[in-house]
Structure 1
Amino acid sequence: MRFGRTFEEFEVGAVYKHWPGKTVTEYDDHLFCLLTMNHHPLHLDSNYAERTTDFGKNVVVGNYIYSLLLGMSVPDVSGKAIANLEVESLRHVAPTFHGDTVYGETTVLDKTPSKSKNDRGVVSVETKGYKQDGTLVCVFRRKVMVPTEAYIAARGGEQPGRPELSETSGSSKNPREK
């Protein structure tokens, strides 16, 4: 299974469609709001949302949608990243509601080799999030520093530090088992 890409694997113009999507629940929205101390009633109080907003129901907090799309993109974009450098822009285009399913896709806009170190480069991408009906809900652009293949090889390959099973390791290693 792929987890990110090296600098050489990115192609300008490539589009990565992230899978699977995520159906946003009321619990997801409320937990995110509470964890981030965003107590706006638009997100938490259905009575308030019904009576006082144009939407007539709770709107999922936009930063959750952004975070969800960012997370969806990790296996395709930043799974091998050395650093996430910046978010250039972030636009919330349309509201998302409890029960909507969000899908994401990322387009590679540019890639530039590092000027100071030859084992990495910077990739610029744009990620778009859509609801199940195709409505665009969120767009953001960011820059990610990613390693070259040489960087990965110099540090032990794809999964450095992952232990190998030895012949003596088995399911009966529990000292209580005799």
Structure 2
Amino acid sequence: MKESFYFLKAVADNVFIERIGIDFEDFEVGQVFEHRPGRTFTEASCLDYAFHSFDLTPFVTDQVYARRVYGDRVRVLETFILSAMAHTTKTFGKVVANLEMSECKILPVYVGDTLYFESEILSKRASKSRPEQGILSVYSRAKNQHSECVCAYKRTLLVYRKNCGPYAAAGY
């Protein structure tokens, strides 16, 4: 395994700095990253998300109504599922910008489901206009506890190169 993939960087005996993200150069086409831990959607977390996002539709905020309409399985908001994809942040922490998101699909997710996230590197190339950055094409997906893919999309990311951007000055 490449040294840059380790979670911590030793700076002295028994002194470590937490690393966030992987440098552009260390990504390779075909790599698959599992973003752990998974995320379990509880009724409380769904209600909290709904109130914070100002989505006050009855099927989200009134669980009695939701159960009457949908039965025992209460659905999770699609925007909450997408926001949970932030589990990719530790791997893609050196992203300058999300340039594009395409081919998005989201299937129903229900309260009690646990999602596990992974991303595959589809392509990479140096940026022609930004020498300190590179461009990655990534396919990210979320699978539930039954290994069913319930969310997937392609993204194009602008990523800092090694020893460039704010990370070099910060020491990681």
- TM-score class normalised by the smaller sequence: 0.7 to 0.9
Task: After superposing the two structures, state which structure 1 stretch, 147-156 or 122-131, moved more.
Answer: 147-156
Match of residue 92, structure 1, among 106, 120, 123: 106
What is residue 77 of structure 2 aligned with on the other side?
61
What is residue 83 of structure 1 aligned with on the other side?
97
**Structure 1 residue 11 displacement after superposition:** 0.8
**Secondary structure of the corresponding residue to residue 117 of structure 1:** coil
Q: TM-score, normalised by structure 2?
A: 0.81
**Structure 1 residue 121 displacement after superposition:** 0.8
Structure 2: which amino acid aligns with 1:34? Answer: F
What is residue 165 of structure 1 aligned with on the other side?
none
Cα RMSD, aligned residues only: 2.0
Seen in structure 2, the aligned counterparts of structure 1 residues 30 and 7 have a Cα distance that, compared at 3 Å, is same
Seen in structure 2, the aligned counterparts of structure 1 residues 51 and 153 have a Cα distance that, compared at 3 Å, is closer
> What's the CA shift string for 1:104-158, capped at 9, x where partnerless?
0001111121111221111111111011111211112211111111415994264
What is residue 162 of structure 1 aligned with on the other side?
none
Instruction: Identify unmatched segments of 5+ residues in structure 2.
Output: 1-6, 8-18
What is residue 87 of structure 2 aligned with on the other side?
72
Instruction: Identify unmatched segments of 5+ residues in structure 1.
Output: 160-178
C-alpha distance in 2, partners of 1:154/1:31?
A: 33
C-alpha distance in 1, partners of 2:119/2:167?
A: 29
Structure 1: which amino acid aligns with 2:133? Answer: R
C-alpha distance in 2, partners of 1:136/1:34?
A: 27
| Between structures 1 and 2, the one with greater strand share | 2
Is contact 1:46-1:57 (8 Å) kept? no
Larger C-alpha radius of gyration, 1 or 2? 1
Aligned residues: 155
Alignment of 1:40-55 (within 5 A): 40-53=57-70
What fraction of aligned residue pairs are identical, expressed as a percent? 31
Alignment of 1:121-140 (within 5 A): 121-140=134-153
